[in-house]
Structure 1
Amino acid sequence: MNLANEAAVEAALAHLTALLSENETIIRYQQLQKRVDENNTLKELEEDIQKSQKTAVQFAHYDKPEAEKAALKEADRLTKELNQHPLVTAYREQLIEANDLLQYLTTMIQKEVNDALETDA
């Protein structure tokens, strides 16, 4: 690839990146991601899940199956609570939409590149 082609590719990439940053789906995803990252309730739930999982591992190490079972049950309960949180649900739905958009763009670009390579050959 020569320098002119490389510059053209970089310019096209910058243009595509700018367009994506203005896309409603991407904007909503980024907003939800920020809200999830800043939500203290979700952070606490994640920490509590990790604590319960670590406790279960410790109980397993010390051969305390009933205590391990209780710790795992608590971790499962907290995980379910986290997964059902409205913000997490909205975030995951928006993540799927953003991923679908990016997958579509990737497929389109791949097709265009393949077509260009075939016509050059």
Structure 2
Amino acid sequence: MEKFEPKITAGLNELTKALAENEIVKDYRQIARKVANNSRLQDLEEKIKAAQQEAVQFAHYGKPEAEKMALIKAEHYQKEYENHPLVIAYREKLILANDLLHFLTDNISQNVNQAIDKLADKEIE
């Protein structure tokens, strides 16, 4: 990968720092850590995976009733996971952070395109 011009690298570093200091990003990172470190959520994730694996095994061995029960169990754990207050808060913060990043990338794209258009117009003149 080619090196960027020092001016571009400095701008990227400044943008990265500004994002890291942004309250939306800070809130998202904080709730993401809480979710990752929550033992109940980790337990539910393991139960969901185990129930899904059981369902696959039961399907493989032609046991439709056992497969159905395993899928019901997995769905129960999944709903419990999705309705956990930390997961709900995480999703809300994720949406806000995602919106911020989309705004930034759209803005950068527009500015770059405008700069390119101006350069092209100058070359034509």
TM-score by length of 2: 0.92
Secondary structure of 1:49's aligned partner: helix
Secondary structure of 1:37's aligned partner: helix
Structure 1: 5+ residue runs without aligned partners? none
- Offset at residue 6 of structure 1 (A): 1.0
Q: Tell me which residue corresponds to 1:76.
A: 75
Give the partner amino acid of 2:113: N
Answering whether residue 98 of structure 2 is matched by residue 119 of structure 1, we say no
Q: Tell me which residue corresponds to 1:67.
A: 66
- Offset at residue 115 of structure 1 (A): 0.3
How far apart, CA to CA, are the structure 2 residues paired with 1:91 and 1:51? 24
Q: Tell me which residue corresponds to 2:19.
A: 20
How far apart, CA to CA, are the structure 2 residues paired with 1:63 and 1:109? 55
Structure 2: 5+ residue runs without aligned partners? 121-125
How far apart, CA to CA, are the structure 1 residues paired with 2:84 and 2:41? 8
Give the partner amino acid of 2:42: K
**RMSD, aligned CA:** 1.1
How many equivalent residue pairs?
118
How far apart, CA to CA, are the structure 1 residues paired with 2:56 and 2:18? 47
Secondary structure of 1:63's aligned partner: coil
How far apart, CA to CA, are the structure 1 residues paired with 2:9 and 2:43? 42
Q: Tell me which residue corresponds to 2:41.
A: 42
Q: Tell me which residue corresponds to 1:55.
A: 54
Secondary structure of 1:60's aligned partner: helix
How far apart, CA to CA, are the structure 2 residues paired with 1:7 and 1:112? 19
Q: Tell me which residue corresponds to 1:89.
A: 88
Give the partner amino acid of 1:43: Q
How far apart, CA to CA, are the structure 2 residues paired with 1:55 and 1:85? 24
- Offset at residue 14 of structure 1 (A): 0.4
- Runs of 4 or more, structure 1, over 4 Å off, are none
Q: Tell me which residue corresponds to 2:123.
A: none
Give the partner amino acid of 1:60: A
How far apart, CA to CA, are the structure 2 residues paired with 1:37 and 1:7? 37
Q: Tell me which residue corresponds to 2:28.
A: 29
Secondary structure of 2:45's aligned partner: helix
- Offset at residue 117 of structure 1 (A): 0.2
Percent identical = 50
How far apart, CA to CA, are the structure 1 residues paired with 2:105 and 2:18? 14
